[in-house]
Structure 1
Amino acid sequence: MIRIRNFILHKPHGYLSQFIYEKKRHKKLLGELYDFPEGTMAIGRLDEDSEGLLLLTTDGKVSEMVRSKTVEKEYYAQVDGRITEEAVQLLKNGVEIGFKGIKYTTKKCEARIISELPDCIGEGRKIRDERHGPTSWVSITITEGKFRQVRKMTAAVGFPTLRLIRIRVGTLSLQLNAGEVIEVENFFTHKP
């Protein structure tokens, strides 16, 4: 019997959500953070510039279930400028973005302005200094996952994303520091 293994990772900025990169430029890969067993796959992806909660498994069925439209994914986005309640309301109702060369209206979602960040995020990496204007944070919870969707959503309402962190997948919340990995028996019964 093959043992299924599951991992929770706080993916740092600058890493690809993959184990192999076949192009010429060197990229930081997940295997540099931990000695994952052969056959481990990321459940969903976070692009190189995004950070936060990433689930990994050796079981394709678990991966398929977590990626389904029934599991919420919550992101904290640091945006350019002071996001307004009007922009948050637009996000909640769905906004038009481009996806694979066609226009797409996102599904309704949860969104709110964030005034205080959890310790696992803290100040994090410095995006820019105050000379370039203010920034603010917004939480966006979606069940779909189009390519770079949250970044496109904030840009569509006039507040481009500067930093993006996945903070929650289903009932699992980010509680690790950047680069930390833990192995869990089951994602859905894990208690921090």
Structure 2
Amino acid sequence: MKNHRHFIIHKPWGMISQFVNPAKRKKSLLGELYNFPEGTMAIGRLDVPSEGLLLLTTDGKVSEAIRSSKYEKEYYVQVDGVITENEIHQLKKGVEIGFNGKKYMTKPGKAAIIEDPKFPLRSQKIRDARHGPTSWISICIREGKFRQVRKMTAAVGFPTLRLIRVRIGNIKLENLEVGEVIEVDNLM
């Protein structure tokens, strides 16, 4: 029986959630954070401008289970403008987004307005108060279509400015520094 290895990382803004760079973009890759063993895979992805919790494993069964709808994923999202409970209600019940060239109705989830979580500033400034107010919300979903959270906030009229995944199931980002990698015994 193979001894699998599992990792929790705080993915920085601007990093590709992969070990190879097929488009040869001038971006850093996961392998620059740590000497991961051969066969390590990211469980789901965070796009280049997204930050936060990313799980990695050498066990394909663990990866498949965590990517399933069994595990809730929570995101803290800074949006452009002052979002209201009306838009939060829409996000909770599901909104129509585009996915694979078709219209897609997101499954119901959780959403709430939150206080600024005071994350460290990222390497590229988002913008300042001269451009108008912003709001922070929490969104919890059990699916993960391509750029789904960004598409959801745009669908209710509030484009995403900053996106940070803070939780997958019971695993939380808390106390991990940006770029930090820790190895754990298991993920489930």
TM-score, normalisation: structure 2: 0.95
Q: Does 1:115 align with 2:119?
A: no
Q: Structure 2: any 5+ residue segments left out of the alignment?
A: none
Contact 2:13 2:122 in 1 (8 A): no
Q: Which digits, 9 at most, give the CA deviation of each residue in 1:36-57, with x for residues without a partner?
A: 1110000000000000000000
The 2-side partners of 1:41 and 1:23 are apart by 18
The 1-side partners of 2:95 and 2:26 are apart by 36
The 1-side partners of 2:116 and 2:129 are apart by 18
- Match of 1:66, SS state, is helix
The 1-side partners of 2:66 and 2:40 are apart by 15
- Match of 2:64, SS state, is helix
Q: Which digits, 9 at most, give the CA deviation of each residue in 1:45-91, with x for residues without a partner?
A: 00000000000000000000000011000001100001111100000
- Match of 2:8, SS state, is strand
Partner of 1:48: 48
Alignment-mate amino acid for residue 19 of structure 2: F
Q: Does 1:162 align with 2:140?
A: no
Partner of 2:146: 147
Question: Structure 1 segments of 4 or more deviating over 6 A?
Answer: none
Distance 1:182 1:110, change over 3 A: same
Count of residues in correspondence between the two structures: 186
Partner of 1:181: 181
Q: Structure 1: any 5+ residue segments left out of the alignment?
A: none
Alignment-mate amino acid for residue 67 of structure 2: R
Contact 2:71 2:169 in 1 (8 A): yes
TM-score, normalisation: structure 1: 0.93
Identity %: 67
Partner of 1:104: 104
Q: Which digits, 9 at most, give the CA deviation of each residue in 1:126-165, with x for residues without a partner?
A: 3101110011101000001100000000000000001100
Q: Does 1:38 align with 2:60?
A: no
Aligned-residue RMSD, C-alpha: 1.2
Q: Does 1:71 align with 2:71?
A: yes
Shift of 1:3: 1.8
